[in-house]
Structure 1
Amino acid sequence: MTIEDIKFVQNFKKITNDAWLKGWHERNGGNITYRLTEEEAVAAKKFINEGSAYTPIGVTVKNLANDYFLVTGSGKFIRNMTVCLEENAGIIKVDEKGENYKIVWGLINGARPTSEITSHLMSHSIKKEKTNGAYRVIMHSHTTNTIALTFVLPLDGKVFTRQLWEMATECPVVFPGGIGIVPWMVPGGAAIAEETGKLMNDHDVVIWAHHGMFCAGESLDLTFGLMDTVEKSAEILVKVLSMGGKKQTITSQNFRDLGKAFKVHISEDYLD
């Protein structure tokens, strides 16, 4: 048995391959992190080396102390995760203070975790607190149609939410918390991590203008499905705009009726 025989690792490899096939991860674009359960950490323990040195995270994430994460590597290609996982991904552990991490498996030959690890861990910290530990995944992808829309729509979360909700009936059911927007910022540092984190307090979907999308969720499948739904809605909107715009649409009252039928709270912030 190898670490790649463990179920959570198999799921991680499948999701990275699915994301590659979607066209969301050109070259070394995008990154995915997964917080292990206690049972998964125990299952992986015999493959883990605790002796490596710690590296500063750049922010403090106290509630992630001693947590383990399976992460994609900096400069690594998502399409290669299924070819050789330990070259392209690894498991890291956060220290007791929530200030540093160390590589305990994989990322061999001098590889490092994704350059956006700070944004990931900040978002993990917020979602862990907000969901009482239920959320375990942060996924960042370069979703084509969503990026395109950041050049033509106002960089306003209310505008993006309403426009994308209207493109498919299931959208407000899948992301009832709406969408947050971060204006263009240099990626990889504490500043963009903090701005993303602020929005993650209220949203599971955050769009980085002219860059891509961040999604948070309980599982790899649910997080992938959330991103897929948003991106499909963005694709429909791009097509609608290219055909001259909407002639009819889903109304605010339609959304209220939908929320009632599906027992989903749809915020009036996004309705007329």
Structure 2
Amino acid sequence: MDIKNAGFIQGFIRLTEDAFRKGWHERNGGNLSYRIRPEEIETVKTELKAPEEWVSIGVSVPKLADEYFLVTGTGRYMRNVSLCPEDNIAIIKIDKAGEKYSIVWGLVHGGRPTSELPTHLSNHELKKELTHGKNRVIYHAHPTNTIALTFVLPLEDKVFTRELWEMATEDPVIFPRGVGVVPWMVPGGKAIADATRKLMREYDVAVWAHHGMFVTGENFDEAFGLMDTVEKAAEICVKVRSMGGKKQTITSQNFKDLARDFQVDLREEFLD
């Protein structure tokens, strides 16, 4: 089997195509990673090369030792992933200490995994632990309306969450934990990785002020759908504000009724 026809690679490619069409990935913006299942690696193992050069990750992720990840390349364009996967994405293997990675497939004309790799892997390690291995996708993009709101809303978890929840009845059902907000930071380093990891203990969505959004999910559909839902809420919010602001809205009691009937656990402190 051609490795590019593997189901997990096809799912990865589909997300990059859908996301580019959404307008979330100008130029080389955004990145995606997937923690590959052992049985999936077995189906493509003959296509992988042995680890050669080991490169420091920049963070320590011992609980990801010996795991494989499918990742976008730094400087690569999402629009080009489907056209030539082997030049724009890579499969990497983590070493036995969780300190380094090696490219075992992809990026055939050179290059490195996404510059946000420290943030991705740090949060993969956390979500693997918190979800007992179920969470496998981490996705970062630049959705326009979400970024716009970081210039007008207080950069506080409660304020952002409540504003977005009020934009559509089903929003709190899709992200009942709410969203966390990271203040502006230089991307690609340990500081933003640590700040995001701290929020990911409570949330599946982090808004990076004046930059974009960072989400996690069990699979590609869940991660993409989560970002799509949050961004649509942000779009409605931008439109409501442009029309003069809210004249009526969903109340705290409405949210409690919704939580009861849909059997979701909304953060009580965000309903006050």
Residues 25, 142 of structure 2: 8 Å contact kept: yes
Local SS of the residue matching 1:210 = coil
Aligned residue for 2:32, secondary structure, equals strand
Secondary structure of the equivalent of 2:213?
Answer: strand
SS at match of 1:14: helix
RMSD of aligned Cα (Å): 0.6
How many matched pairs?
272
CA distance in 2, matches of 1:99, 1:128: 17
Counterparts of 1:52 and 1:186 in 2: how far apart (Å)? 31
The 3-state SS of whatever aligns with 1:147 is: helix
Look up the match of 2:42. 42
1:123 maps to what in 2?
A: 123
- AA aligned to 1:75 is G
Partner SS for 2:105: strand
Alpha-carbon distance in structure 2 between the residues aligned to 1:51 and 1:222: 31
Counterpart check, 1:107 vs 2:114: no
Distance in 2 separating the partners of 1:259 and 1:64: 35
Query: How far 1:110 moved relative to its partner?
Result: 1.4
Pair 1:149-2:172 in alignment? no
Separation in 1 of the partners of 2:63 and 2:171?
Answer: 31
How far apart in 2 are the matches of 1:249 and 1:54? 54
For the residues of structure 2 that align with 1:7 and 1:184, how far apart are their CA atoms?
36
Aligned counterparts of 2:87 and 2:176: Cα–Cα separation in 1? 38
In the aligned structure 1, how far is the partner of 2:41 from the partner of 2:264?
34
| Aligned sequence identity (%) | 61
| Distance in 1 between residues matched to 2:181 and 2:130, nearest whole Å | 19
Number of the residue aligned with 2:33: 33
Which residue of 1 is the match for residue 159 of structure 2?
159
Corresponding residue number in structure 1 for 2:82: 82
Alignment gaps of 5+ in structure 2: none
Deviations 1:107-147 (A, max 9, x none): 11111100010000011111101000000000000010000
Unaligned runs of 5+ in 1: none
Q: In the TM superposition, what is the alpha-carbon distance from 1:51 to its structure 2 partner?
A: 3.0
User: Which residue of structure 2 lines up, in the alignment, with residue 15 of structure 1?
Assistant: 15
Q: Is the 8 A contact 2:51 2:93 kept in 1?
A: no
Deviations 1:213-245 (A, max 9, x none): 000000001100000000000000000000010
Whether the 8 Å CA contact 2:180–2:206 is kept in 1: the answer is yes
Would you identify which runs of 4 or more consecutive aligned residues in structure 1 move more than 4 Å? none
TM-score normalised by the chain length of structure 2: 0.99
SS in 1 for 2:49: coil
- Name 2:94's counterpart in structure 1: 94
TM normalised by structure 1 equals 0.99
**What is the CA-CA distance between 1:267 and the residue it aligns to?**
1.1
Counterpart-to-counterpart distance in 2, 1:76 and 1:65: 26
> Hey, what's the Cα distance between the residues in 2 that align with 1:160 and 1:179?
7
